[in-house]
């Protein structure tokens, strides 16, 4: 199949443009999405193309404009709400968790909230603790919302349409380190928001990860291959609901697992995955599962400290070698 080289940012912009062109109910709202072109330049040019009624700059009030997005969704629109960074989404926890996630249940199925919330997540850019954390694992704890984390240009291009088609709220977490990443985008091909994906086949250990940690896991797998260790890399893609079938199939084949998660270890998504592996595939394991997470500190500003606080390929390699009994 033919393809073209494109950045993650450009793939997201193409997805937004297609959604706006295809469905008149779709509009984008958030801080700096219009005249400024988006904090990460994802919506650059869309204001001139679609006008201020559909590309709406909002005040600096996540609580207010996420709530407005919920109201628009209930009113029959298909809003895409951009929150500048995941840290700022904490100001909108009440409308997301107490309203959007609950209305289908509390109305006995009479109402749904077809809302899409996009936000940047993750560290590695020296923007200090209030702009660098990874809270997607928190949101994955909440019934009633779907959590997706596109880690490739194809997922960045294709997941938005699937999210807009979902009758319930979908939160898209875009790792800020990926915006400049380039990749091949195939012509055509549907993208779902249900399944994990095997990004690299292997036989000795399952590396289970998502989002901005996927390139690091792939790099670690290359290093491990040189040492004679065959790592299978699983991109979760969807953090709620987790695709247990793909995870367990890989673990049962490889018999060892290392989970890479930029969240903190305590109460992490990695801990949930380890628990599920222990519940469903305990007797298939040749070693206890291991995890590589961020250090239990606010993400530092200083570059060398930030790097030290985050999962890195060398840490992943060391964790794999440990579960393989090589150190």
Active site members: 62, 131
Give the pairing of strands 55-57 and 182-186: unpaired
Residue 136 main-chain phi, psi, to 5 deg: -60, -30
Residue 286: CB atoms within 10 A of its CB come to 12
CA neighbor of 178 nearest in space, from 159, 196, 164: 159
Contacting residues for 306 by C-beta, under 8 A, at least 6 apart: 123, 124, 126, 132, 299, 300
CA neighbor of 216 nearest in space, from 140, 137, 294, 164: 294
Residue 201: CB atoms within 10 A of its CB come to 11
Q: Which residues are 292's β-sheet partners?
A: 260
**Contact in structure between 12 and 39 (CB atoms under 8 Å):** no
Cα first-last separation, the chain: 43
Q: Which residues are 5's β-sheet partners?
A: 184
- Would the CA dihedral through 210, 212, 214, 216 be positive or negative? negative
Kindly state the helix (H) or strand (E) to which residue 182 belongs, with its residue range.
strand 182-186
């Amino acid at each position: 199949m033919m393809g073209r080289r494109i950045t993650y940012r450009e793939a997201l912009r193409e997805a937004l443009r297609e959604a706006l062109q295809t469905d008149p109910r779709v509009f984008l709202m958030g801080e700096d999405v219009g005249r400024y072109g988006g904090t990460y330049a994802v919506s650059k040019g869309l204001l001139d193309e679609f006008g201020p009624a559909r590309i709406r700059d909002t005040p600096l009030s996540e609580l207010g404009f996420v709530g407005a997005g919920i109201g628009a969704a209930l009113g029959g629109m298909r809003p895409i709400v951009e929150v500048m960074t995941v840290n700022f989404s904490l100001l909108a926890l009440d409308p997301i968790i107490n309203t959007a996630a609950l209305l289908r249940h509390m109305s006995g199925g009479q109402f749904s909230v077809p809302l899409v919330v996009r936000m940047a997540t993750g560290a590695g850019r020296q923007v200090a603790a209030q702009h660098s954390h990874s809270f997607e694992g928190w949101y994955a704890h909440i019934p009633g919302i779907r959590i997706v984390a596109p880690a490739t240009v194809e997922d960045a291009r294709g997941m938005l349409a699937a999210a807009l088609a979902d009758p319930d709220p979908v939160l898209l977490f875009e790792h800020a380190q990926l915006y400049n990443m380039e990749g091949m985008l195939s012509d055509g091909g549907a993208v779902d928001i249900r399944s994990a994906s095997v990004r690299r086949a292997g036989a000795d250990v399952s590396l289970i990860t998502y989002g901005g940690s996927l390139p690091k896991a792939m790099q670690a797998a290359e290093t491990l291959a040189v040492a004679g260790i065959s790592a299978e890399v699983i991109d979760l893609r969807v953090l709620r609901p987790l695709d247990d079938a793909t995870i367990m199939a890989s673990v049962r084949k490889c018999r060892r697992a290392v989970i890479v998660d930029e969240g903190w270890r305590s109460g992490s998504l990695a801990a949930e995955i380890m628990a599920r592996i222990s519940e469903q595939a305990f007797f298939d394991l040749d070693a206890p599962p291991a995890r590589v997470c961020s250090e239990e500190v606010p993400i530092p500003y200083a570059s060398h400290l930030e790097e030290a606080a985050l999962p890195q390929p060398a840490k992943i390699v060391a964790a794999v070698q440990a579960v393989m009994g090589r150190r």
